[in-house]
Structure 1
Amino acid sequence: MSFYTFARAIVKSVIKPLYRIETIGLEHFPKEGGVLLCANHIDNLDPPVVGFTAPRPVYFMAKAELFKNPLMRKLMINIQAFPVKRGMSDREALRTGLKYLKDGEVVGLFPEGTRSKSGEIGKGLAGAGFFALRSNAHIVPCAIIGPYKPFRKLKVVFGPPIDFTEMRNNKVSAEVATEAIMSEIKKLKDQNLR
């Protein structure tokens, strides 16, 4: 058993009952091929929650600061995270993400880049659109509907993959592509609020 599988099982056994997590839309998740999994960001627990509710292992892009401490760095690598420098175009992170997608893996992103204090879905950064346009991956939107309050239900909703054919053919900008992704996440959230 890999460290990732072990850590996923431990985290799931603690967090799932505590926040009464309900997972919706797993039937939409592609069983194979590269997947760009894009979710809104409301809490520090989002990465582990999306990680154990997704039906396939997820490689998360995480802020570079988390890799500075050697122990933390080892942990991040073992849970399949890779670093991104925030506030700039990090070519190494973009190359790493594209490689995982081309290799048929699942790459998890929070396009907003930071947590939403209000819980409202904010504007996404261009990185998500870049990955969507530069790869042939399935683009799966995911809405986390909180708040994180013990013993209150939290929903994780996976939507059907977004058809990016037209956007790729028309060579739209990464910003426009990200807006389309954020719009789908918002739609998922609005449809599943009750």
Structure 2
Amino acid sequence: MISPKVAKFINSMPMGIRKYISRKIVSTYLSKYAELKVSGTENIDAASKPIIFIGNHLSNADGLILSEVLGKYDVSFVAGIKLTGDPITALGMHNVKTINIKPNSADKEALTTIISNVKAGKNIFIFPEGTRSRTGSMIEGKKGVILIAKLTKATIIPVGVYGTEKLMPIDKDGNMSSENFHNAEVFVNVGKPVELLAREKGEEKHVFEERCLTHMMKSIAALLPEEYRGYYK
């Protein structure tokens, strides 16, 4: 893995050069370390556009892998803004089209951008858990995805990814610059579109939202081996 010092140097270059170099670096690492196995992309081709992709989150390699798999669908990934603050992850993010969002907050500006993008016909990818799982399996999702789905009425397609936690394990001390690539099989399973549930007569809003969220998250869990389903077994 390149050093933070080298990453900072590359990040100081003009954007065009920066993107070119970072793409070459990421492509080299993925080719060397990831044995990628993909299934279900025919579900994307058959679906109405635009699409909100929803998936589980195990590693900082998720965006790199999924951007590679979904490249021809021009997907923007909703990503925590802190990724741009680390020289290594910032370099990797040049390979991923993103909409930055402030984690653990009601980032109205980011939500407006996300909704505007989808209404304009653009595809987006959301990790409803909001952060990488430190347990190696699914953690509880957050309800923001329900609001986006309701306001845009876009097609929702679940994606299950696993093996990325072995490809690029999370650093136990939270230092993203020290996270390295390792040889691993990586699986990406794309599911069929999921319908947004209808609110039942007299159903309280929070109950409805929780039911919708569980429905969405279980559609992701169904694409994963049981040991990865965690909160949604």
TM-score (norm 2): 0.68
Structure 2 CA distance for partners of 1:175 and 1:96, relative to 1, 3 Å: farther
- Report the residue type matching 1:148 in the other structure: K
RMSD, matched Cα: 3.4
State the shift of 1:64 in Å.
Answer: 2.4
Q: What is the identity percentage for the equivalent residue pairs of Structure 1 and Structure 2?
A: 25
When residues 27 and 12 of structure 1 are mapped into structure 2, their CA distance, relative to the original with a 3 A threshold, is farther
Equivalent positions of 1:135-150 (< 5 A) are 135-146=152-163, 147-149=165-167, 150=182
Partner Cα separation in structure 2 for residue 112 and residue 99 of structure 1? 22
Rounded Cα–Cα distance in structure 1 between residues aligned with 2:76 and 2:221: 23
When residues 88 and 185 of structure 1 are mapped into structure 2, their CA distance, relative to the original with a 3 A threshold, is same
Residue in structure 2 matched with residue 33 of structure 1 by the alignment: 49
State how 1:69-148 maps to structure 2 within 5 Å: 79-146=96-163, 147-148=165-166
For structure 2, the residue ranges without an aligned partner over 5 or more in a row are 1-15, 168-181, 229-233
Task: Give CA-to-partner distance per residue, 1:130-179, whole Å, 9 cap, x none.
Answer: 11222121101011121424343110111011022x43787964433222
Any conservation in 1 of the 2:141–2:217 contact (CA below 8 Å)?
A: yes
Partner of 1:167 in structure 2? 198
Segments of structure 1 that go 5 or more residues without pairing to the other structure are none
Kindly provide the amino acid, as one letter, of the partner of residue 63 in structure 2. P
**Count of matched residue pairs:** 189
Which residue pairs with 1:21 in the alignment?
36
The structure 2 residue matched to 1:179, chosen from 197, 214, 228, is 214
Sort the Cα spacing of 1:100 and 1:9 in 2 relative to 1 into closer, same or farther, 3 A. farther
Shift, 1:77, TM fit? 7.7
